[in-house]
A and B are shown apart, each in its own frame.
Chain A
């Protein structure tokens, strides 16, 4: 199933989250420091970060009462990367989380603590009440936006990225500087770009019949300009050798260099794009940006006096 883009939160929510992130960045003295000092930001927010660890004594106690409950706890802990305890103000993080994902994950959990309207999590923990699933999803997207604003120091990343020619290498280089993952950096690069560009995030390649290979589409992130011009474009649920973008998938290498592709905009016009791709253990990224058409000014000869 394709996931919703974090940009789908409202403008009001986005600007409020940004203001909270700005306040916290300043409180932590984190502006202009690299990589972004995530642990100092969490400390400034008075959030303790603790690795999730199983207490064997507790597990034995739970199992003694009901074996099923013990199984459910183990299963829950195997699924959880991060969980925020609002009452203790503790962010529990899976210690096996890949190192490059840790900063974003910590800040995401921090979002649940800092965004005041998310205090609802701590209020009804003991009751037999349910939070509307759509609202829960919105809260998770808001926490992602909060983490991204902090990690990329508001406009800092975008301003630095705009100093270089548009390329997949730019966010990959800046990822190291800001202490972010390739995934988070590529998403930020596209979602905050003033270019007409789009990022297709694919799940890892699955080799085999009947297609030879297949990668399911996990998420598509568009720049505002791309959304305006290609809003009606539909994406396949998977890239297979039958799809036009199949040649972009780096099967036996890490990257696919720049190639020209064409996409049809909402007016039915075919537009030229440059596509590049990059692969990590967990995802394949295809970045497309529109070829800028330079309109040269028509210079008329001077009229004779």
Chain B
């Protein structure tokens, strides 16, 4: 469980955004709980919307994206899990010995793209 944030901190944008989304869909907290088969309790969502939970998990955001019919990637970005970067990193699911540098990852992704294009030609 994500630890709650101190009350005096400003709620993160994601909480406010999620509340606006829920309201725009006309869902109550309990309806979201029902829609997600109880996976997102009304208490948890209330805390999240009020900024009392600093970091929801990716799995929770995925469930909310499905319930609200919004792009999961947008929620990930709003929550700060994905951000613009001069030197983008962690874009590939890899098992590596050590770590890939930014340039190594870039070249690996380009190579995967090339292999995909070769495969589609066959």
Contacts and interface: CB of A to CB of B under 8 A. Distances in A.
Interface stretch (A69-77, A158-166, A264-272, A296-304): A69-77
A80 B90 contact: no
A80 B101 CA distance: 12
Q: Categorize the interface residue count of chain B.
A: 35 or more
A130 B82 contact: yes
Contacts of B96: 79-81
B119 interface: yes
Given A12-B39, A129-B91, A88 B59 contact: no
Q: Categorize the interface residue count of chain A.
A: 35 or more
Interface stretch (B8-16, B46-54, B107-115): B107-115
Nearest to A78: B97
A124 interface: yes
Contacts of B103: 68-69, 72
Given A12-B39, A116-B62, A139 B93 contact: yes
A131 B94 CA distance: 13
A58 B114 CA distance: 8
Contacts of A80: 94-97, 100, 108
Contacts of B88: 127-130
Interface in B52-98: 57-62, 72-73, 76-77, 80-98
A13 B58 CA distance: 10
Contacts of B77: 129
Given A87-B116, A128-B88, A129-B91, A135 B81 contact: yes
B106 interface: yes
B119 to A, nearest CB: 6
A68 B101 CA distance: 13
Interface in A106-129: 108-109, 112, 116-121, 123-125, 127-129
A90 B81 CA distance: 25
B105 interface: yes
Contacts, number: 153
| Residue of B61, B62, B92, B115 ringed by the most chain A CB atoms within 10 A | B92
A144 to B, nearest CB: 9
Contacts of B1: 10
A128 B93 contact: no
Contacts of B82: 120, 124, 129-132
B100 to A, nearest CB: 6
Contact of B108 (A76, A108, A123, A127): A76
A79 B97 contact: yes
A179 interface: no
| Residue of B80, B83, B96 ringed by the most chain A CB atoms within 10 A | B96
B104 interface: yes
A208 B85 CA distance: 45
Nearest to A143: B93
A180 interface: no
A132 B80 contact: yes
| Residue of A68, A81, A92, A117 ringed by the most chain B CB atoms within 10 A | A117
Given A55-B114, A83-B93, A83-B94, 9 more contacts: A12-B57, A58-B111, A85-B112, A121-B93, A127-B88, A128-B84, A129-B82, A129-B84, A143-B93
User: Top 8 closest A-B pairs, CB basis?
Assistant: A117-B62, A76-B104, A131-B90, A112-B93, A130-B85, A73-B107, A82-B95, A136-B90
25 contacts: A12-B57, A13-B59, A73-B111, A77-B108, A77-B111, A80-B94, A80-B96, A80-B100, A83-B92, A83-B108, A84-B92, A86-B93, A88-B116, A90-B115, A116-B62, A117-B72, A120-B81, A125-B109, A128-B85, A129-B91, A131-B82, A131-B89, A131-B90, A132-B82, A133-B90
